[in-house]
Amino acid sequence: MKKVKKLVVGNWKMNPVSLEEARKIVGTVKRNMKNIKRTEVVFCPPFVYLSPLSKAMKGSLSLGAQDANSETAGPFTGEVGHLQLPQFGVKYVIVGHSERRNMGETDEIVNKKVQSVTSLGMTAIVCVGESSRDANGEYLDFVKQQILKALKDVPKKSFENIVIAYEPIWAIGAKQAMTSLDLHEMSIFIKKVLKDSYSIASDGVRIIYGGSVDRVNASSLVKEGNVSGLLVGRQSLESKDFVEIINLVDAQ
The residues of the shown chain that bind ligand PEP, judged by CB under 6 A, are 11, 167, 172-173, 210-213, 231-234
Contact 26, 49 (CB under 8 A): no
Contact 79, 100 (CB under 8 A): no
Q: Which amino acid is at 178?
A: M
Active-site residue (options: 40, 130, 167, 244): 167
- The CB-of-63 to ligand PEP minimum distance in angstroms stands at 17
CA angle in degrees (0–180, nearest 5) for 50-100-53: 10
CA dist., res. 208 & res. 167, Å (int) = 9
- The CB-of-167 to ligand PEP minimum distance in angstroms stands at 5
Active-site residue (options: 40, 82, 97, 130): 97
CA dist., res. 129 & res. 185, Å (int) = 14
For residue 87, the 8-state DSSP code is G
Peptide bond into 16 cis (omega under 30): yes
Q: Examine the residue annotation and report whether 97 is marked as an active-site residue of this protein.
A: yes
Residue 204 or 247: the one with the smaller Cβ distance to ligand PEP is: 247
- The CB-of-139 to ligand PEP minimum distance in angstroms stands at 18
How many other C-beta atoms lie within 10 A of the C-beta of residue 224?
A: 14
- The CB-of-210 to ligand PEP minimum distance in angstroms stands at 4
Q: Examine the residue annotation and report whether 167 is marked as an active-site residue of this protein.
A: yes
Catalytic residue numbers read 97, 167
